[in-house]
Amino acid sequence: MTDPVAPLSPPEPSATRQPRKNNPEKTREDILQAAINEFVQQGLAGARVDAIAERTATSKRMIYYYFGSKEQLYVECLVKLYGDIRKTEQNLELESLPAEQAIRRLAEFTFDHHDRNVDFVRIVSTENIHYGEYVKKSPAIREMSSLVLQALGSTLARGVEEGVFRPGIEVIDLHMLMSAFCFYRVSNRHTFGDIFQIDLADEQVKQRHRQMICDAVLSYIRA
């Protein structure tokens, strides 16, 4: 069952909570971060707006004022998490590097980001349980994600011109190859680690895997 729709007027501060300074942007950001934690731990169905309010020392009504419903808050959490990785990708300055070095930098970044941002991996796993229903409600996620394909495609084209990459590589396939390993080793670290008795958090294992995905990607695309 969905939570009620937000009131149209801003709520009064709760008498039981400390008053906030009037900083709507920070309030919204604080709510988003608390909501990410709640959705990661409880899933969409189990997450409670009351619990999110407690995490931020704000009110349930305030959350509805900013986001409208629990489902819309969940969508905004997806937008934030996808936005964080896409914004950082844009700062890698791949166009300033030789093609091979640019691909290696992107592969290393993808590995490091997934390793350090378990919340991203877990909430994407949750969204797949819902068949991507809520990602479909956000054109912004598709628009942001198209940028990495453009950068990757441009880098591949440069590599072909430089004679270091073979032609005919599908950009989306390369992106999937790069992302799949980095995602899996975080999403399945507990089951994989226990079954095969390997500590995927061990620094030596991480560095070996980081090198492995770079080598695998470059081996696939080299001329």
pLDDT at 102: 96
**Is residue 207 helix, strand or coil?**
helix
pLDDT averaged per 10 residues, the chain (length 223): 46 45 82 95 94 90 93 96 92 93 96 95 94 94 92 96 96 96 96 97 97 97 95
Interhelix angle 99-116/118-129, nearest 10 degrees:
80
How many Cα atoms within 13 Å fall on the side-chain side of residue 62? 24
**pLDDT score of 194:** 97
Quickly tell me which residue has 């934690």 as its tokens: 37
Structure confidence at residue 73 (pLDDT): 96
